[in-house]
A and B are shown apart, each in its own frame.
Chain A
């Protein structure tokens, strides 16, 4: 096997995986930035949108439209979650916020089991998304889903970057994340900012969920759990609350996992998740504020 081609293949894999992590992590970081909430229900936004897409395409809606509608459903779920569960506990201690989101994820996942049953369903990935491209006699292969996830992630993340640095609403979000009271004093509508933040964060999760489902071919009620945990790691490593940090953390994590699976000894591969979390704990000891040092915590 040619090692250069192998490396290129692994880089493609890392970018594809990192893109998914980054898209979930930005949402976690946006919400954390403003509300200081560790949002465990964020992963379920991946699930609600994907189920909506499956349902709509089963009803005969063309796939691209079903995807867009699915993302809208994710965003809507996020807005409803904020309205119904999070707004009443806003300003409560961290633990209360965290537990509320934990309870909400339990409700949403079991609601999905109640409505759609717990068994996996196939995701109607169209053939053009599963098209395989092979180079160098199959040493480098990727599918259209890989290309689509990476490009849509990069484009949408660039779009988000432009939004938070050029629009008044985006600047307002960063302002509110830094100092909620001062943001209220300059006349920003905090409720509106929070709703928009949830809509964007959940929309990104929805998009990530579609791409995740397109790659794995199935959806299930707890499909958001594992990527959510990875996204937490990405967001924390990047500096929880920093959007750029979350993107960086996402791609770093993608690279790390591919490094373990692709280049590490084969016995290590199944321990990938354990290694990631062990490294997170070690990382937090030395840099509790993340790479970007977005917020410093009390150190013991």
Chain B
């Protein structure tokens, strides 16, 4: 019964993804694509941050790596010759389709995560967030200086913009599915135990470092995939695209919904994306008959930041805390029965 419902849901989602672009405006489609990519990105942060107890501020570093790796791999040979003339031979003659490039980007990120996670995931307490943020800085500095791979501080351009709605819907569904499988499995239980109490988890024999590393590197894989999708959506980007502002907006989505809940991730992404889009329109200036409000650059971020602070004060564990929509339904049923 349940399975049929899920299949029906997926089928209708797929139908929407195919049909919607024919009906609604390009603008709405672009917005929906952004929502799906953000679901992948915020989902990746949810795993690393909500389920291990190590709050990583470095996830955006993986997003950057994913975007650049996939960008370099899928750039056309002609573009490569003109934009990246100093690329090493083995890369200069590769022109990949988006899908393999995306997967490779994810795997590269996962591999890097294992290497940097070995020291990072050993740390705990107050310093780990600064150290993980350090990772974001390191990635940023390397991208700006690795001229022959990234065009340095200049815009990296020419990435095929082939993100269609069905594509990203597929990735978002896959990301949520994989995360759900992982989180609500025995491994997920281990993750949550490590989050709740490191010493107790160690005492019952859970390999804390291994569990954290697994979550961190799988999160990095998804971040790399999301970064690749983001890159193929934008077409051109620079090191500054994947920096502090992106980190804050992703974290806003994460904390709004609740960082230990997948339903929270989806809700947070939708609410924040919709809200910031609305605010951005207001920001450009509004004309209401004779009254016109001048453009207010930065206003949307101010409002989002304030919303973020309000969530922290009144609902620090997010809208969903650590529940899922399905369990919310379950609880209601139990209550009405009793």
Asked if A and B form a direct contact in the complex, defined as CB atoms under 8 angstroms apart, the reply is yes
Chain A positions near chain B (C-beta within 8 angstroms) = 32, 36, 38, 85, 88-89, 92-96, 98-100, 102-104, 106-107, 110-114, 117-118, 222, 225, 229, 232-233, 236, 240, 270-274, 277-278, 280-282, 284-285, 288, 297-300
Q: Quick one: closest A residue to B121, CB to CB?
A: A300
Q: Which residues of A contact B255 (CB under 8 A)?
A: 99
Is there a chain A Cβ closer than 8 Å to B126's Cβ?
yes
Residues of B within 8 A of A102 (CB): 57, 248, 251
Hey, which chain B residues are within 8 Å of A273, CB to CB? 137-138, 141
Pairs A–B under 8 Å by Cβ, sample size 23: A85-B313, A95-B55, A100-B309, A100-B312, A103-B312, A111-B298, A111-B302, A236-B127, A240-B127, A271-B145, A273-B137, A273-B138, A274-B138, A277-B135, A278-B138, A280-B130, A280-B131, A280-B134, A282-B119, A285-B119, A285-B122, A297-B124, A297-B126
B248 touches A106 (CB 8 A): yes
Interface of B is mostly: helix
3 closest Cβ contacts across the A-B interface? A277-B134, A107-B305, A113-B298
Q: How far is the CA of A290 from the CA of B248 in the complex (A)?
A: 28
Given contacts A114-B298, A114-B302, A277-B137, contact A300 B122 (CB under 8 A): yes
Bound together, the chains give a CA A114 to CA B293 distance in angstroms of: 14
A96 CB → nearest B CB, Å: 4
Do the beta carbons of A96 and B312 come within 8 Å of each other?
yes
Measured CA separation A280–B130 after assembly (Å): 9
How many chain B residues touch the partner (CB < 8 A)? 49
Known: A106-B305, A274-B141. A281 touches B125 (CB 8 A): no
Is A38 touching B316 in the complex (CB atoms < 8 A)?
Answer: no
CB-CB nearest in chain A for B299: A114
Contacts of A282 in B (CB 8 A): 119
Cross-chain contact B313 with A103 (CB below 8 angstroms) = no
Determine whether B120 belongs to the interface, using a CB cutoff of 8 Å to chain A. yes
> Which B110-169 residues sit within 8 Å CB-CB of chain A?
116, 119-127, 129-131, 133-135, 137-138, 141-142, 144-145
Residue of chain B at shortest CB distance from A115: B298
Within 8 A of A (CB), among B70-115: none
CA gap between A229 and B121 in the complex, in Å: 20
CB distance from B84 to the nearest CB of A (A): 19
